[in-house]
Amino acid sequence: MKIATWNVNSLKVRLAHLLQWLEANPVDVLCLQETKLTDDKFPVSEINSAGYQVAFSGQKTYNGVAILSKLPLTDIVRNNPLFPDEQQRILAATIGGVRFISAYVPNGQAVGTDKYAYKLAWLSALREWLAAEMRVHAEGGLAILGDYNIAPEDRDVHDPVAWAGQVLCSDLERAALTALADLGLSDAFRLFEQADKSFSWWDYRQLGYQKNKGLRIDHILLSDALKKRCTACAIDRIPRKWEQPSDHAPVIATLD
DNA sequence: ATGGCCATAGTGTATGGA
């Protein structure tokens, strides 16, 4: 089976891209972030027509997550039960015996701001919740896919000197991501040989994509049961070249 | 050249993103 994650930066604007991408990449499960739609405006019929069932949790203007699946989604949970939050950034569902979580980690804005503190608190609560979820779903496996807004290492940053200590790259954020990994979650992308300067996001400004000035901040984390089944992971840069693209590219993992 | 882009709300221009 193939599973994927994509921050679409407005599903309203990107619906045509999503449908075009699914046609070329008929993945079994796709987690979306930044849908930026209230639930009453979610394009259910268009997605159903493409052959997918869908669960979603949205809000006006900001955030919003969804999970598309060819198989039924059960036990749907919105948000982290340990972290009451008006911002819609977490959606979980069980599909074919596997627990999937679509996650949109807060951006953090800048180190030292309130938003940065919120990001760290959010990640700490995520870890607490995941520790329990992984025990419950140890056998079938758990995959948490999304926009983590953290570049794990300097090799995930186009200019590590310029980004040193900045939000998305700071030590505390990286430590929070490592703490998730320490629960027994593996970065699918790094299970395999990858090209240097592989990124999943590029700034709209300064010809960021054309100059490959990017960051790798979108990740697929797999529990051990799924890590054993994972045979490939790649970033698909193709839709970043389309007209009026999302600033993020999809990440796809293949499971036996 | 220290800012350039894009989406949203909403109709000016501010906020947020990363």
**Domains parsed from chain A with CATH numbers:** 2-255 (3.60.10.10)
Integer CA distances (angstroms), A176 to A127, A134, A142, A148, A179, in order: 8, 17, 19, 11, 5
Give the distance, in angstroms, between residue A60 CA and nucleotide B12 C1'. 21
Which pTM value belongs to this model?
Answer: 0.97
Is residue A171 among the annotated active site residues? no
Weakly modelled stretches of chain A, pLDDT under 70: none
Report pLDDT for A142.
Answer: 98
Give the distance, in angstroms, between residue A190 CA and nucleotide B6 C1'. 30
Is residue A218 among the annotated active site residues? no
Spatial strand order in the sheet of A186-187:
A74-78, A90-95, A98-104, A142-147, A218-222, A186-187
Is residue A219 among the annotated active site residues? no
The protein residues having a beta carbon less than 7 Å from any atom of strand B are A 7, 9-10, 12-13, 34, 36, 60-62, 106-107, 109-110, 115, 147, 149, 167-168, 201, 203-206, 215, 217, 244, 247-248
- In three-state secondary structure terms, A66 is strand
